[in-house]
């Protein structure tokens, strides 16, 4: 009987922590990390596994939680050898101890998250997770257990690959705090829902992060009746930092009581995480034998439907009233007009405020503020947007990028913005930090723009009930791989993106690409228009700004010796041409004026 068949009618008791147990037994005598012990001190690893099996555990996890190149400071070959040694030791313990009472002990190949500060790209992490999983599959583990993860996106291509390679069961277990959020800002409810809908994941769970009391309170609010087996592995409690290491108090009695309540909610796999040891598992098994802890039907929790009403959310309201196109007092069709104002690089914001007042007289729909574009510091986009809104009354939309902030900071920024009446955002991944600054400044990139949209989507469901925020994304029609960009648009729409702002359009060919993208995705598109003001300006944008494609024929329309007025008139005429050949599909326009020359807008649009 494989593990999934067993879980249909049986409560499975897993082991407890390995790492903290190892440190407690050998930490004072040696400096060998638990995972390195697989090859340096295999007798220690074997002894801990045996103690858990003797205690009654029906599932033990391999000593491989941190078996990756970053944590072990080793190459891939060494890590894979380490993983193979770990699986052999777990199997040896299970076979040797289980043979006395003919009890089946399952082996879980344990994979923990690669540290975020390891310097690995997303693709590098995905590739390493795949290699670790493949090694475990080839060694014949009963289930691959991705443990203590703060998000699922990085694992989605991994589990898809592993399930296509071999049909080894896969479990994904998340780590959240006592408030129900992971380090990446995703709620337990959102993570559970995301994995429950993924056909490549067989089991889902929560471990670490919290003690048994908070884990129980969290589960009571969730619908763990998700159609898949659920594992629950809380810490013994909360640690104290003493003598240069974390120490957990002995909390067996309280832990076992709460595990009993957790099992009553319908958990399929129970056990322990940090601070637990074989004695904890033994005590659980004693209550299993008396029937106090037993397999229970899952408790179904109805999700409270959030109020979907939108309070004073201009962009959302316009989009829900049949798109951004409406009619003005004269009966003419009006398309939403967004204008970008770049925050200053210093504390002098007078030019920006002057431009904002001009835009107020031009009746633009929304003013946007980039978030330190090109990776060079400018005034904070949200704070700048708030000041402009207070001084002019204009609708404002700051850009949010994930280059400089982790999920905690982004959530905090969005909460603060909403409290100040800012409810519209443009969500982008963000330009990388320039090479010359990388010795002193490091990017964060906790996730990309799609991941950040999923975070905001979760906040809309759980935090902004009845007063949701609206957010959109960016489109780069100049990518060589247009299929990749179309797939990104679809993923962003699934993550809640309501509209898209494009890179500046300078040719009919670029416009056609956007026309095709709209036809395939149904996206609401605000076409980017950048009225260049001189030949020099055009050459700079063409040669120095990534993502912007300016044909030579556009540059040739600017005279080398043109006056300022002549340069602006040329830019105005080019912008009018773009308006004309994009009007059939554009839902609105997104203007970016070099040097904040917003007075040109009145000469471009009626």
Specify binding-site residues. Answer: 208, 273-274
Three-class SS state of 81: helix
Residue stretches of the annotated binding site for Zn(2+): 208, 273-274
Sheet arrangement for strand 12-13? 12-13, 269-270, 230-233, 203-207, 170-174, 143-149, 106-111, 59-61
Numbers of helices and strands, H then E, in the chain: 23, 20
Beta strands 326-327; 333-334: pairing state: antiparallel
Q: Is the dihedral of CA 485, 486, 490, 493 positive or negative?
A: positive
**The token pair that represents 14 in the structure block:** 């897993």
Q: Are 227 and 195 in contact (CB under 8 A)?
A: no
Three-class SS state of 13: strand
Q: Which residues contact 487 (CB under 8 A, 6 or more apart)?
A: none
Q: Are 93 and 50 in contact (CB under 8 A)?
A: yes
Q: Are 367 and 397 in contact (CB under 8 A)?
A: yes
DSSP, res 181? B
Q: Which residues contact 155 (CB under 8 A, 6 or more apart)?
A: 129, 146, 149, 172
Cβ-defined contacts of 134-139 (< 8 Å, 24+): 134/162, 134/165, 135/80, 135/83, 135/84, 136/62, 136/64, 136/83, 136/87, 136/109, 136/111, 136/168, 137/109, 137/162, 137/165, 137/166, 137/168, 139/83, 139/84, 139/87, 139/88, 139/109
Alpha carbon 5 to chain centroid, angstroms:
33
For residue 111, which of 134, 129, 126, 137 has the smallest C-alpha distance? 129
The CA-atom distances, in angstroms, between 94 and each of 43, 56, 89, 168, 529 are 14, 11, 9, 19, 66
For residue 593, which of 368, 360, 433 has the smallest C-alpha distance? 368
Q: Are 446 and 491 in contact (CB under 8 A)?
A: no
The CA-atom distances, in angstroms, between 311 and each of 298, 317, 466 are 37, 9, 7
Residue 583: other Cβ atoms inside 10 A? 12
CA distance 176 to 191: 10
**The token pair that represents 337 in the structure block:** 């007009």
**The token pair that represents 526 in the structure block:** 């605000």
N-to-C CA span, the chain: 73
Token pair 């583990």 is found at 141
């Amino acid at each position: 009987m494989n593990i999934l068949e067993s879980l249909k009618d049986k409560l499975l008791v897993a082991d407890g922590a390995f790492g903290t147990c190892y440190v407690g037994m050998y930490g004072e005598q040696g400096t060998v990390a638990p995972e390195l012990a697989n090859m340096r001190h295999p007798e220690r690893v074997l002894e801990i596994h045996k103690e858990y099996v003797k205690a009654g555990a029906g599932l033990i996890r391999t000593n491989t939680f941190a078996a990756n190149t970053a944590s072990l400071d080793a190459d891939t070959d060494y890590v894979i050898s380490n993983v193979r040694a770990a699986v052999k030791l777990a199997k040896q313990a299970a076979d040797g101890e289980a043979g006395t009472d003919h009890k089946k002990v399952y082996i879980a190949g344990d994979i923990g998250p690669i540290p975020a500060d390891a310097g690995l790209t997303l693709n590098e992490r995905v590739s390493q997770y795949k290699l670790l999983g493949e090694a475990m599959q080839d060694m014949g583990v009963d289930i691959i257990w991705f443990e203590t993860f703060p998000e699922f996106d990085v694992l989605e291509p991994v589990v898809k690959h592993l399930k296509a390679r071999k049909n080894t069961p896969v479990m994904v277990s998340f780590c959240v705090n006592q408030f129900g959020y992971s380090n990446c800002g995703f709620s337990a409810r959102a993570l559970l829902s995301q994995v429950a809908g993924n056909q490549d994941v067989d089991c889902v769970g929560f471990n670490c992060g919290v003690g048994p009391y908070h884990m129980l309170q969290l589960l009571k609010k969730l619908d763990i009746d998700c159609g898949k087996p659920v594992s629950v592995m809380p810490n013994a409690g909360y640690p104290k930092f003493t003598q240069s290491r974390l120490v957990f108090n002995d909390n067996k009695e309280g832990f076992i009581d709460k595990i009993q309540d957790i099992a009553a909610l319908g958990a399929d796999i129970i056990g322990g995480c940090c601070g637990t040891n074989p004695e904890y598992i033994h005590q659980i098994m004693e209550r299993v034998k008396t029937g106090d802890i037993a397999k229970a039907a899952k408790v179904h929790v109805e999700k409270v439907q959030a109020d979907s009403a939108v309070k004073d959310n201009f962009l959302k309201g316009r989009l829900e009233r049949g798109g951004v196109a409406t009619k003005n007092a004269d009966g003419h069709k009006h398309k939403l007009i967004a204008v970008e104002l770049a925050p200053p690089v210093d504390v002098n914001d007078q030019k920006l405020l002057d431009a904002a007042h001009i835009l107020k007289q031009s009746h633009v729909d929304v003013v946007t503020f980039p978030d330190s574009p090109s990776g060079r510091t400018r005034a904070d986009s949200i704070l700048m947007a708030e000041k402009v809104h207070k001084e002019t009354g204009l609708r404002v939309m700051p850009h949010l990028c994930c280059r400089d902030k982790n999920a905690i900071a982004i959530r905090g920024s969005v909460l603060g913005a909403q409290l100040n009446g800012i409810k519209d955002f443009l969500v982008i991944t963000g330009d990388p930090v320039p090479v010359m600054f990388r010795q002193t400044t490091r990017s964060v990139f906790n996730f990309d723009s799609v991941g950040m949209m999923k975070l905001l989507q979760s906040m809309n469901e759980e935090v902004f009930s009845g007063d949701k925020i609206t957010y959109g994304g960016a489109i780069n029609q100049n990518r060589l791989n247009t299929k990749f960009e179309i797939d990104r648009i679809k993923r962003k729409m699934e993550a809640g993106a309501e509209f898209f702002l494009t890179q500046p359009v300078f040719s009919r060919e670029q416009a056609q690409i956007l026309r095709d993208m709209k036809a395939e995705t149904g996206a609401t598109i605000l076409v980017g228009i950048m009225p260049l003001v001189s030949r020099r300006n055009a050459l700079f944008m063409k040669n120095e700004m990534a993502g912007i494609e300016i044909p030579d024929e556009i540059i040739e329309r600017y005279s080398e010796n043109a006056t300022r007025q002549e340069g602006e008139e040329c830019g105005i005429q080019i912008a009018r041409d773009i308006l004309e050949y994009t009007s059939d599909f554009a839902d609105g326009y997104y203007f970016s004026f070099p040097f904040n020359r917003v007075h040109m807008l009145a000469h471009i649009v009626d």
